[in-house]
């Protein structure tokens, strides 16, 4: 396993736990996210969003394929969401407590000084209920 | 093979795709290549890919531009920009019906897995899609 992959896997592990202290190490102060769940800018916006998200759903990521350097990473990521509560206005569609939603995304990370400077997401497979 | 060599071959592969040189395109594939494109179409094997993209070329002029690309020991990652211009009505075009003159611009991420220096698995996801209709 490459050093970049090991570094990235540590982030995925932190995201899944969640371990916010470790997650924040990966976020550049002015980090930008663009994806189906909206656009967020700045490290505080990420932590606020993920704290809120993780209080309402169990969301876990699994890396299916990976290409990475210390400048960029592109990962095929399977996302499993199990809501703790109903969330009718969730950005990618309504969620119901107890259901299991799965999707696969291609996640593109621009990296500067071993932090995510920009993260972009492209859906690969549509979301499905399991 | 160095990353620069891999990326040089990748750029040549995209150029071959753009000029419709499918012999050069398929020379980059393993025999069991699998491609899932941004429209969700899954193609397995060189012949399936050629058949599919010959039809796309019959309906549209398509140009792929590499916005950026990078490689590690196992694969290639790319941020791509494509434009399709319909050269005839294409009601069953994979991304949606197109009338002659319509343009579709897409930005996509593509991840390429390498085996023995060849492209074995390709997956693409669209992160931006823009339709420019000929009559609008």
A80-116 pLDDT, tens digit each: 999 999 999 888 888 999 999 998 999 999 999 999 9
Give pTM, 2 decimals: 0.91
Supply the ipTM of this predicted assembly.
Answer: 0.90
Assess B41–A contact: CB distance below 8 Å, yes or no: no
Domain residue limits at A105: 3-129
Residues of B in contact with A105 (CB under 8 A): 125
Assess B40–A contact: CB distance below 8 Å, yes or no: yes
- How many domains would you assign to chain A? 1
Closest partner residue to B70 among A65, A69, A75, by Cβ? A69
Assess B39–A contact: CB distance below 8 Å, yes or no: no
pLDDT given at position B38? 80
**Chain A residue closest to B36 (CA)?**
A124
Q: Which CATH architecture has domain B3-132?
A: Roll (3.10)
Assess B15–A contact: CB distance below 8 Å, yes or no: no
pLDDT given at position A82? 94
Cβ of B125 and A67 within 8 Å?
A: no
Three-state secondary structure string covering B21-72: CHHHHHCCEEEEEEEECCCCCEEECHHHHHHHHHHHHHHEEEEEEEEEEEEC
Q: What is d(CA B27, CA B7) in angstroms, rounded to the nearest whole number?
A: 15
């Amino acid at each position: 396993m490459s050093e970049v992959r090991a570094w990235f896997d540590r982030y995925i592990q932190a995201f899944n736990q969640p371990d916010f202290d470790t997650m924040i190490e990966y976020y550049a102060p002015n980090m930008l996210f663009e994806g189906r769940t909206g656009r967020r800018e700045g490290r505080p916006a990420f932590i606020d969003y993920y704290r809120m998200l993780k209080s309402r759903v169990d969301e876990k990521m699994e890396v299916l394929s990976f290409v990475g350097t210390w400048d960029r990473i592109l990962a095929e990521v399977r996302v499993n969401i199990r809501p703790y509560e109903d969330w009718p206005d969730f950005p990618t569609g309504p969620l119901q407590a107890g259901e299991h939603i799965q999707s696969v995304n291609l996640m593109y990370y621009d990296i500067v000084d071993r932090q995510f400077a920009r993260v972009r997401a492209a859906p690969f497979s549509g979301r499905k209920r399991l | 093979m160095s990353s620069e060599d891999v990326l040089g071959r990748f750029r040549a592969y995209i150029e071959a795709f753009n000029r419709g040189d499918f012999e050069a395109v398929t020379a980059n594939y393993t025999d069991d290549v699998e491609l899932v494109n941004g429209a969700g179409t899954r193609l397995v094997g060189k012949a399936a890919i050629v058949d599919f993209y010959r039809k796309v070329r019959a309906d549209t002029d398509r140009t792929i531009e590499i916005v950026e690309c990078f490689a590690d020991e196992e694969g290639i990652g790319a941020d791509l920009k494509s434009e399709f211009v319909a050269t005839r009505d294409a009601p069953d075009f994979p991304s949606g019906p197109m009338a002659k003159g319509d343009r579709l611009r897409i930005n996509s991420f593509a991840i390429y897995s390498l085996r023995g220096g060849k492209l074995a698995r390709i997956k693409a996801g669209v992160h931006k899609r823009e339709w420019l209709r000929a009559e609008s």
